[in-house]
Amino acid sequence: MEKIIPIKKDTEHVVEITGLGFEGEGVAKIDNYTIFVQGALLGETVRIQVLKVRKNFGFGKLIEIINPSPDRVEPICNVYNKCGGCRLQHLSYDAQLKFKTNRVKECLERIAKIKVDSNENLIVHDILGMENPYKYRNKVQLSVKEYKNEVKIGFYAPKTHDIIDIETCAIQDEIADKVVKLTRQWIKEFNIKPYNAHINAGVVKHIMVRRGFKTGETMVVIVTKANNLPCKNEFIELISKNIEGITSIIQNVNPNRTNVVLGEKCKTLWGKDSITDYIGKFKFNISPLAFFQVNPVQAEILCNNALEYADLSPEDVVFDAYCGTGSISLFLSQKCKKVYGIEIVPQAIENAVVNAQKNNVDNAEFIVGKSEEVIPQLIEEGIKADVVVLDPPRKGCDRAVLEAISEMQPKKVVYVSCDPGTLSRDLNILAELGYKTLEVQPVDMFPQSSHVECVVKLSK
């Protein structure tokens, strides 16, 4: 029997918000039919217009807040409701932290089958937030587009290719705002053509700004379709004379019609090829293509938590799978005999080697390859880990990695995750393989957004 949907598109309804979805959207029920409402908060009574109707759930647009939540605050950004970057800015920061902690617990119970509140052997700590949850990003990538003879520089609206023009951003460094203003001025004054994806023509595709929070060094990257950059000297002069701490102006060439922002080719137009910054006491070289944590304040907290959960002795050997540019590896190197960093991206390993050298770390070795292939190779060579650290991308670990770790039988596993869902899935697999989850520490790396990082301690 076909399911009867109790609502129709474009109709209006007054609903009670009884929950929050994984991205912080309000959840309501109409005759037991679930509808998601972006911008509505738990406990609110709101009027909505139905936008989309699917078999099991729908989406509604918030029209009126009839009974507001005490956790509702006024967003400080004037394009908050258009830009998809800060979906939780209407929720007080204390309430954001509670939402994220609860989201981790819900995933652990629903997916990992761990009864959080009734399990005395498991500790799920409250999330570690920021003293100032704004202006924390040290990197921003902005798209450039021309629309009706007006230059737009900003972020894409959710699920579209429409650019939301910005003059200031609540979560990025203030220097980036100034770079946007100067770039817009240069484009208009010298009639530089923004890139048009529809006809695959134009000059400027994106602007990226990277800033060293502890060093004050700033890099500006202009992404172009072709090698030729008209009025290049004028751009260099404008940026170099007006941006505080500017040490690097780079042209990145990306000829492809793609959603990927950066191409493989970089040319230094002015200053140095890279900037430097610190996580804790460790100094990092940051090139245009290098990965570096966008929130170095919280990254230090995350790395220290990973080190604490590893609980290393001077004789321990550690495998750091999915090591990236080696930030966690360097923290681990302080307390162990040897750390092997494994990463599939060659450029990241090149950066990790340089970072180790710059910090005089001689007990870290970095290997390019898939963790599920490298770990068995190391075991065959007689190298086994006492502790394994996992820091996979959002999709989580390949099961083959977890099985390879299980065969080696390290005494401890530390799992660093950027997605509670895939984390919980992998904790379930690790439980099958004989590892028990003992402690979970969420860290708020991205305030004003729904993203949650976690550090998890497991033992054999």
What residues are labeled active site?
418
Question: Position of tokens 């959080």?
Answer: 116
Cβ-contact 343, 329 below 8 angstroms: no
Cα–Cα distance for residue pair 398/456, rounded to 1 Å? 17
Cα–Cα distance for residue pair 212/210, rounded to 1 Å? 7
Residues ≥6 apart with Cβ < 8 Å to 94: 71
3-state secondary structure of 450: coil
Closest CA to 303 of 386, 369, 391: 391
What is residue 360's DSSP assignment? T
Closest CA to 207 of 198, 217, 220, 195: 220
β-pairing, 218-224 with 246-253? parallel
The region, left, alpha or beta by phi > 0 then psi within -120 to 50, assigned to residue 451 is beta
Question: Position of tokens 């509140």?
Answer: 117
Cα–Cα distance for residue pair 325/350, rounded to 1 Å? 8
Closest CA to 413 of 347, 423, 219: 423
Largest CA distance in the chain: 70
CA 458 and chain centroid, separation: 24
Q: Is 433 exposed, middle or buried (0-12, 13-18, 19+ CB in 10 A)?
A: middle
Cβ-contact 193, 110 below 8 angstroms: no
CA 244 and chain centroid, separation: 26
The region, left, alpha or beta by phi > 0 then psi within -120 to 50, assigned to residue 231 is left
Using N-to-C axis directions, what is the helix angle for 420-432 and 399-408, rounded to 10°?
40
Which amino acid, one-letter code, is at 239? I
